[in-house]
Amino acid sequence: MAFYADKDYTTDQTVFEAVNQVMSGNLTLFWYDAKTEKVKGKPTDLRRGLTYKDLDLGSYGYSSIPENLRTSQSMVARGSEKWGNLPDMGYVVNRKSEIWADNVTYLYEEDKSRRWTPAVDVPWSDLDAHPIAAPIEAACSQLYTFLQECALVSMDFAARWVPLVNQDFIEQKSWMCAQMFNWARLNEAFRKRALCGGAGLGRASVSGEQGLKEWLWADSYPKGSLSINLSLGGIVLAICRHVAAFAPSKVDRVLMGYAMQDSARQTAYGSGQLRYYLTHRPAEMSAMQEYVDDSEHVMLALLGSPELIEPLIIISGGGLQKDQVQAGRAAVAKFLRLAISEYFERLEAAGLAASRTRSRIAPVVERISAAA
């Protein structure tokens, strides 16, 4: 895999000569009149600072990125002058429609602006002051074990694609780095929460992990993004909202408050990407719908995982007593309907209008929810 320089530069006379010339004061200044656009960007709103949107100017702007990038395969910053022998970096995502979303630059700015720090922003010691009943704590530790699996896969997904995305999509790549960091932070928060209650970690989920790997290893970015950003992001968002609503402790409520913000951004990007893709590549609609049909069983693998559903029942009902489980079941049934309904809403709004009617998982989830 290694890439080596084309020669030994420490014995190359042309290097010595070039250096000697410059260091003797004979500057070439060949770069001085670079054939690039002269701009002076300014913040349009001082409260917001200087955003990427403020720099959407002429040849530098993201608005002018063409659909097909045929002449950029190196590390050159978009808008600067290319010259000489530039390396081919082997990018495989070179079409704007395959990666872009209209909200991506905003989401990147929002992400930085709404950053938080799990170590200090969650009142961890509150769990010492107000310990939780053992069955609920065990359920929490299992739930947060499951969420770590989701976070790890989401982090790997962004990381896996970043080096394959053309450098001209600089705002997009920056957003993907922010996603990696987001999921690292959530993984950290979930791990800390699972351990600090005293119950240790729980058990990994076979169905969950099998499903996650199928989504993670999707064979194109648009498909993987739909699965990881829109679908998985949506599930995690729904779990965060649910646990925040039934939070057994202040720690859980605060943590899930931050986590829902982060996961909602992932979902927003996932919806935005799918919408952009289908708008610009309508011919791909049927292939994408087919992919959804084939891979939506993963929704069941995740939502029906005993490592998720059972702790959710206990947390929602407040314990393991019969009446508590009864209440927990009812709440989880509503949660399932909510998660599935919002999943279809997002698909439909992004352009996959037939998803709900042709879905084979919708009736299954409805039957299961109704059983409660």
- Going by C-alpha positions, the residue among 239, 114, 270, 232 that lies closest to residue 182 is 114
Does residue 313 sit in helix, strand or coil?
A: helix
Considering the complex, state which of residue 156 and residue 284 has its C-beta at the smaller distance from another protein: 156
Per-residue binder mask for another protein (CB under 8 A), 77-116, x = binder: x-xxxxxxxxx-x-------------x--x--xx-xxxx-
What is the closest distance, in whole angstroms, from the C-beta atom of residue 99 to another protein in the complex? Answer: 14
In order of 238, 269, 303, 354, the CA distances from 211 in angstroms are 18, 21, 10, 23
Span interacting with another protein, options 62-70, 187-195, 277-285, rule CB under 8 A? 187-195
Give the residue with the Cβ less far from another protein, 96 or 273. 273
What's the min distance (Å) between Cβ of 283 and another protein?
Answer: 21
Choosing from 64, 66, 68, 200, the residue that interacts with another protein (CB under 8 A) is 200
Stretch that binds another protein, among 26-34, 62-70, 276-284 (CB under 8 A): 26-34
Which residues inside 109-148 make contact with another protein, applying CB under 8 A? Answer: 109-110, 112-115, 117-122, 124-125, 128, 135, 138, 142, 145, 148
Range in contact with another protein (rule: CB under 8 A) among 63-71, 279-287, 305-313:
305-313
354 binds another protein (CB under 8 A): no
- Residue corresponding to tokens 């060949």: 30
Residue 210 in the binding site for another protein (CB under 8 A): yes
Cβ-contact 192, 124 below 8 angstroms:
yes
Instruction: Please state the closest distance from residue 215 (CB atom) to another protein, in A.
Output: 9
Distance CA 121, CA 115 (A): 10
DSSP codes, 5-22: -SS-GGG-HHHHHHHHHH
The site map against another protein for 32-61 (x = CB under 8 A) is: x-x-xxxxxxxx-xxxxxxxx--x-x--x-
> Of 95, 97, 126, 261, which one interacts with another protein (CB under 8 A)?
261
Applying CB under 8 A, which of residues 132, 226, 329, 340 lies at the interface with another protein? 329
Q: How far is the CB of 143 from another protein (least distance, A)?
A: 10
Sign of CA dihedral 56, 62, 65, 71: positive
- Helix 250-280 and helix 285-295: axis angle, to 10°? 150
368 is a site residue for another protein (CB under 8 A): yes
Residues touching another protein, count (CB under 8 A): 182
**Comparison of 176 and 235: residue with beta carbon closer to another protein:** 176
| Contact with another protein (CB under 8 A) among 229, 231, 273, 369 | 369
User: Least Å distance between CB 153 and another protein?
Assistant: 6
366 part of the interface to another protein, by CB under 8 A: no
181 binds another protein (CB under 8 A): yes
Instruction: Candidates 74, 97, 354, 366: give the one binding another protein (CB under 8 A).
Output: 74
Tokens of 296: 């939506």
Burial letters 5-27, b for 16+ CB under 10 A, else e: eeeeeeeeeeeeeeeeeeeeeee
Q: How far apart are CA 333 and CA 372, in angstroms?
A: 6
Region at 292 (left for phi over 0; alpha for psi -120 to 50; beta for the rest)? alpha
Regarding 71 and contact with another protein (CB under 8 A), the answer is no
68 is a site residue for another protein (CB under 8 A): no
Task: State how far the alpha carbon of 350 is from the alpha carbons of 8, 31, 57, 224, in Å.
Answer: 53, 45, 28, 15
Nearer to another protein, 26 or 70 (CB): 26
Tokens of 131: 């310990």
- Choose among 301, 276, 304, 302: nearest CA to 288: 276
Q: What's the rounded Cα separation, in Å, for the pair 86 and 131?
A: 60
